[in-house]
Amino acid sequence: MLFNIAIKNLFGAKLRTSLNVFVTSISFFLVIFVSGMYDGMREHAKNITIETEVAGGTYWHPEYDSMDPRTFEDSHSIIPSHIKKLIDQKSAFGVLVSQASIYPNGRIMPVIMKGITPDQNIVNMPTSVLDKHNDISIPVLIGSGMAENANLKVGDTFTIRWLDADRTYDADEGTVVHIMETENFKLDLGHIWIPLSKAQSMLAMKDQATYVTYSKDLTKIKDSGNWIHHDVDYMIRDMEALIKADEPGAQVMYSILLALAAMGIFNAQVLSIFRRGKEIGTLMALGMTRSRVVGLFTLEGGLNAFLAGIITLILFGPILLYFGTNGIPLPMDYTEMGLLVAKRLVPIYSISLIISTTVLISIIVLVVSYIPSRRITKMKPTDALRGRAAT
């Protein structure tokens, strides 16, 4: 009985229902969209680290600590044989890390110089551009952030100074052969990339490397000598820790969005229910019990949320899908700020996000339908009949 009356009320009051449903569906859309953007941003940061840096995992020289440049000087050795086999099979590549200084346009800049195998295709870096430059002393690949900071462009030359294995300072001329666009600032800012063989000869570290990165389809080998295996989880642990540390922030943001949505829905629902005080009084005069009146209005709220879900799907679904597929261009490059934020942010709408948002907004609609109707039914029916607002 209540369901039939609720349906009749909803479809009878076209304007009122349209407004309520529209406000609720906008809330659905905004919460899903903004939370999706946030999730997309976090997921992107993780993915970009894996795609451009970590791949399947790495083997590190025991002295190497990527966060401590002082360890670079001693963190190199001949690659253990079993790991070397992976490189020979093109399933891994080595990187030799050292500190260096560059002198672009007469300025001195400390950098991390990394020698990398040019023909690798394990991480998403355009290292192949370092190959076939026999006429250039040191071909250099840099990121766009580094290029901007050092005021360098393709073809520019600058002096590179480094300390070799014999603890002798040496210098030569580097030439920018390519400026890469990367969203991973860790490959860009303060980094110069040169061919591995060149780095090995410059540093007098023949066949040596600091770490080896292997492809995603490989698993850990049994014997990696004294080199230490770090899997993807370890390599992105800082990112995971950041994301975990950011969870309360994400929850606060989600709560704020929900609160804003709740306020919008509350306003629309309360206004419509309080305006229907006389109708509630009439229903009570016709013999509807208080609990049934509350049930009716709460049911209307529930149906409202259901309709809003459908409208969100129809009206905003294509928009969500479009941005979920094509992403949203961001107005500025956040990598310069040392943030792993995509230049084109792709929102991620997880099933849990959609379900939790739907459930929470439905609960909000039910609550904001229940509270004012309960309040009105607690009024004397005679006051409700006169259309007096509940206080």
Partner 1 sequence: MENKNVISIKNLVKRFPVGGDYFTALQQVNLELSEGEFIGLVGPSGSGKTTLLNIIGGLDSATDGSVSVLRNSMENTSHNKRAEIRRKHMGFIFQSYNLLPVYTVYENVELPLILNNLEKTERKRKVTRAVEWVGLTDKINSKPADMSGGECQRTAIARAIVHEPALLLADEPTANLDAENSHNIMKILSKLNSEISTSFVFATHDEKIMGYLKRIIHLEDGKIINDEKISKPKSS
List contacts with partner 1 (CB under 8 A). Answer: 1, 4-5, 8-9, 12-13, 278-279, 281-282, 284-291, 380-382, 385
C-alpha–C-alpha distance, residues 259 and 254, integer Å: 8
Element (H, E) at 16: helix 14-49
Of residues 13 and 136, the one with the C-beta less far from partner 1: 13
3-state secondary structure (DSSP) of residue 61: coil
| Residue 312 C-beta: closest distance to partner 1, Å | 24
Buried b (16+ CB within 10 A) or exposed e, 228-247: eebebeebbeebeeebeeee
Of residues 4 and 168, the one with the C-beta less far from partner 1: 4
Element (H, E) at 169: strand 169-180
C-alpha–C-alpha distance, residues 77 and 165, integer Å: 11
> Residue 228, Cα to own-chain centre: how many angstroms?
29
| Residue 286 C-beta: closest distance to partner 1, Å | 5
| Residue 42 C-beta: closest distance to partner 1, Å | 46
Of residues 32 and 307, the one with the C-beta less far from partner 1: 307
Q: What are the C-alpha distances in Å from 62 to residues 28, 83, 95, 102, 196?
A: 51, 14, 14, 28, 20
Of residues 14 and 167, the one with the C-beta less far from partner 1: 14
And the tokens for 25? 């569906």
| Residue 279 C-beta: closest distance to partner 1, Å | 6
Buried b (16+ CB within 10 A) or exposed e, 70-81: ebbeebbbebbe
| Residue 296 C-beta: closest distance to partner 1, Å | 11
Number of C-beta neighbours around residue 203 at 10 A: 23
Of residues 42 and 276, the one with the C-beta less far from partner 1: 276
| Residue 43 C-beta: closest distance to partner 1, Å | 46
C-alpha–C-alpha distance, residues 7 and 276, integer Å: 16
| Residue 21 C-beta: closest distance to partner 1, Å | 15
66 Cβ neighbours under 8 A, 6+ residues apart: none
C-alpha–C-alpha distance, residues 284 and 164, integer Å: 92
Element (H, E) at 241: helix 237-275
| Residue 275 C-beta: closest distance to partner 1, Å | 11
Of residues 285 and 319, the one with the C-beta less far from partner 1: 285
| Residue 291 C-beta: closest distance to partner 1, Å | 8
Of residues 37 and 288, the one with the C-beta less far from partner 1: 288
Is the Cβ–Cβ distance between 32 and 353 less than 8 Å?
yes
C-alpha–C-alpha distance, residues 12 and 173, integer Å: 80
Of residues 12 and 62, the one with the C-beta less far from partner 1: 12
Of residues 100 and 384, the one with the C-beta less far from partner 1: 384
